[in-house]
A and B are shown apart, each in its own frame.
Chain A
Amino acid sequence: IAGITQAPTSQILAAGRRMTLRCTQDMRHNAMYWYRQDLGLGLRLIHYSNTAGTTGKGEVPDGYSVSRANTDDFPLTLASAVPSQTSVYFCASSLEVNNEQFFGPGTRLTVL
């Protein structure tokens, strides 16, 4: 692994289904983030984790949950997907507070 990876690359999901988006980084960054990108709205923060074992809510957390059991992994779970969660999801990480964030390649999720 080099940098930050996300899986799956894309997914079509039926409404009501549970889905976990995976994010892994090998840079030993302390902080990790989940954003969603929607046309005309830019990127909006869903959840964040400043260090392993801690998480916090961002601007648009409803319907999503995260965990940070270790430094490398930061999965995002949609407990019961709804069509409004159709979006491109980006995971990011940064070494320390206010350092530049490095982004994964994104996951394109469609909820029907």
Chain B
Amino acid sequence: AQKVTQAQTEISVVEKEDVTLDCVYETRDTTYYLFWYKQPPSGELVFLIRRNSFDEQNEISGRYSWNFQKSTSSFNFTITASQVVDSAVYFCALSDLANQAGTALIFGKGTTLSVSS
């Protein structure tokens, strides 16, 4: 069965600290996609990144970086020099072709990040 686990329910850091959000997934398929979404206090869901299972290169976008390791079925997200505006709930999600619901996403339960000044 497909599953996404975000073991960290809540993380609190002080501004300028680096923080890593963990994501571990389970799937029986060899072709799949992984996503990260951000949900700020205003409630909307903001797409951050999509990565396919054949591309294990790490990606960096400004202060954000993602580490994809198929060997450990992990897709971790690091925020460098965190800022108060990074405070949000972050969701990791999985989509794969074996998913009974077609292209729908399977979400982890989210990690609430609080950044204080």
Contacts and interface: CB of A to CB of B under 8 A. Distances in A.
Contacts of B109: 40-42
Nearest to A41: B109
- By secondary structure, the B interface counts as loop
Nearest to B4: A42
Contact of B102 (A35, A44, A56, A90): A56
The binding surface of chain A is classed by DSSP as strand
A97 B103 contact: yes
* A interface bracket (residues with beta carbon within 8 Å of B): 20 to 34
B82 interface: no
Interface residues on B, range: 20 to 34
Interface of A: 31, 33, 35, 40-45, 48, 50, 56-59, 88, 90, 92, 94, 97-103, 105-106
20 contacts: A31-B102, A31-B103, A33-B104, A42-B107, A42-B108, A43-B91, A44-B107, A45-B101, A45-B105, A48-B103, A48-B104, A50-B102, A58-B101, A92-B45, A94-B103, A97-B102, A100-B35, A101-B47, A106-B43, A106-B44
Interface of B: 33, 35, 37, 43-45, 47, 50, 52, 91, 95, 97, 101-110
